[in-house]
Amino acid sequence: MKVLIVDDEKPARDELRLLLVAHTELTIVGEAASVDTAREAISRLRPHIIFLDINLRGHSGFDVLEELEPPHPQVFFCTAYDEHAVRAFEVNALDYLMKPVHPERLALAVGKLLRLQAADTDASIRTDNALNAESRVFVRDGDKCWFVQVQEIHLIEADGNYSRLYFGQHQATLYRSLSSLEERLPSNLFLRANRGQIINVAGIVGLVPWFSQTLKATLRTGEEIELIRRASLAFRETMGL
């Protein structure tokens, strides 16, 4: 995985570069000392990970992240100040490292990154290609594993930054956002019912009018799901209601 180090102090960059030598999974592809050079380096090098300082010569490390085009890199903030931690996690930083960075603390942060990468590969719906109803996907949650046919999934719910998949009598956590799953699921079978839920329309056994031209759906499994207005209109158009 490609790493970019962003810090306006060369000794700090050198120290982090030295600490990262122990982590052979990571390859440092560049350094930057300012907001402008960091943005240019991100655009040119497309790093997977950024180690980012908060204070950058009168600017903020948060400025680096503004208006970045996807795919967005994972971000580790490295700073001598702890008052920015809340904001760091609001922009989905993977970790917040205090200077001076200790090898043990860095190892924990890198371990978190590697677990996330492994989860994307091994513990979630494979999303390299678009899925159809007959696609079989490998799902893993802890020590439990399943091969699940996509059409057997009846509900997916947001679970923080991750998602919770429901199929048959089982459920599993997927280390992907609801939006990333929605992009790969067949649109003729799955509907984004609301901000936090995707439903399999084949599993709907009842509908009742709800508030402001919305609908409430009852699934075969008994769950009652409120469809926001946009989803209600889309369902009516798709199903010819």
In the β-sheet with 2-6, what is the strand arrangement from edge to edge?
27-32, 2-6, 49-53, 74-79, 95-98
pLDDT tens track for 6-16: 999 999 999 99
Helices and strands counted in the chain (H then E): 7, 17
**Regarding predicted confidence, which is higher, 175 or 54?**
54
Q: Which residues pair with 144 in a beta bridge?
A: 141
> Parallel, antiparallel, or unpaired: how do β-strands 95-98 and 55-56 relate?
unpaired
Task: Provide the b/e sequence for 53-89 (b: ≥16 CB within 10 Å).
Answer: bbebeeebbbebbeeeeeeebbbbbbbeeeebeeebe
pLDDT tens track for 22-60: 999 899 999 999 999 999 999 999 999 999 999 898 888
pTM: 0.52
Residue with tokens 């992009």: 183
CA distance linking residue 211 with residue 227, whole number of Å? 10
CA distance linking residue 37 with residue 43, whole number of Å? 10
pLDDT tens track for 219-233: 999 999 999 988 888
The whole-number pLDDT of residue 126 equals 47
What's the pLDDT band for 93 if we cut at 50, 70, 90? confident
Q: Is 31 helix (H, G, I), strand (E, B) or coil?
A: strand
pLDDT tens track for 160-169: 778 899 998 8
DSSP 228: P
Measured over the CA atoms of residue 133, residue 143, residue 157 and residue 68, the dihedral's sign is negative
The whole-number pLDDT of residue 118 equals 65
Domains in the chain with CATH codes: 2-122 (3.40.50.2300), 136-239 (2.40.50.1020)
